[in-house]
Amino acid sequence: MAPVYECNGKPLGLVFYNPDNREGAKEEADRLNEGLCAAGLTVRLAEWHSRDDLKKLMEDSNDLLSECTLLFSCIMSHGAAGMLATSDGSKDHQSINSFLLELAKR
């Protein structure tokens, strides 16, 4: 039997979607939102268009993370595995892992 983690705090879902490069992104995000809410998570659903938008959304979510004991995060984008594709014309597509680590250091 797999170990069970008891979540005594606030479970949080962050769902960030980019409608510019992903047809149907809003509908997919809405379905994720419904499922996560049904599972008892508080969900922050937000649209992003550029790397700077996404950084701002994540920075603005930091206050929610301080009370969170379980986090589900989904950044919806097209691109290669582990890479973010943005619609702001940026040629410098940073890996998602580097991007998240950069934000976590703040």
Per-residue pLDDT reduced to its tens digit, 27-85: 999 999 999 999 888 898 999 888 788 888 888 887 777 777 888 888 887 666 666 66
Query: What are the Cα distances from residue 32, in Å, to 38, 70, 104?
Result: 10, 16, 24
Residue owning tokens 């979510």: 61
Q: In terms of Cα–Cα distance, which of 74, 18, 24, 21 is closest to 48?
A: 18
**How confident is residue 92, by pLDDT bands cut at 50, 70 and 90?**
very low
What global pTM score does this model have?
A: 0.71
Q: Report which of 81, 84, 78 is spatially closest to residue 99, judged by C-alpha positions.
A: 84
What value does the mean pLDDT take over residues 94-105? 61
Residue 38: per-residue pLDDT: 92
DSSP 91: S
**pLDDT at res. 91:** 45
